[in-house]
Amino acid sequence: MSLDASNVLLVEDDPQQPKLLAALLQEANISVLHAATAVDALGLLREKQVDLVLLDLGLPDINGFELLRQFKESPELQAIPVIVLTAWNSLADKLRGFELGATDYLTKPFEPAELRARVRAALRARKLQRELTQANRELTAARIVAENAARAKADFLANASHEVRTPLNGVI
């Protein structure tokens, strides 16, 4: 499945990472936006269309887990997949990440090809989910149109039979 051009938001305070990831993901038609703090990340998410978040956990202003929790509690943001990308490699941290709603969890140092493959997999899943949501919306709209038509027809028939009956009632 080919992917459309996508925007990934990297939330990461290490200044080396954005360039590295931009170079790594560029060939997969993915642009990298960058936020060095949680505050910047939330600002960018309000302004831009973001298809996926790559989230570091050791951030200067907030623990990345707390930011992940905020994302997943926000009705506007919760559908955006989040891949945790961190040096924190304990099992407890990984489990906590998934529990808070992370789509995937990658530890640093990472294999570039693996990171790209996981990002693409998450973007594919997101795309399918969007298409499904869109198809459901269209089905619902079609159902409402059909129901309205059926109701109009029933009303018309009820009125018609009433009009037919009324003069007859007079005769009888």
**Which residues of the chain form contacts with Ca ion (CB under 5 A)?**
13, 56, 58
Minimum gap (Å) between residue 56 Cβ and Ca ion: 4
Q: CA end-to-end span of the chain, whole Å? A: 72
What amino acid occupies position 116?
Answer: R
Instruction: Between 41 and 123, name the residue whose CB sits nearer to Ca ion.
Output: 41
Instruction: Between 6 and 86, name the residue whose CB sits nearer to Ca ion.
Output: 86
CA dist., res. 98 & res. 52, Å (int): 16
CB 73 within 8 A of CB 42: no
Minimum gap (Å) between residue 64 Cβ and Ca ion: 8
Minimum gap (Å) between residue 17 Cβ and Ca ion: 9
Give, in order, the Cα–Cα distances in Å from 28 to each of 49, 55, 88, 106, 115.
Answer: 18, 19, 27, 19, 12
**Residue of closest CB approach to Ca ion:** 58
Minimum gap (Å) between residue 72 Cβ and Ca ion: 20
Instruction: Between 110 and 121, name the residue whose CB sits nearer to Ca ion.
Output: 110
Instruction: Between 33 and 84, name the residue whose CB sits nearer to Ca ion.
Output: 84
Q: Judging by DSSP bridges, how do beta strands 30-35 and 82-86 pair with one another?
A: unpaired
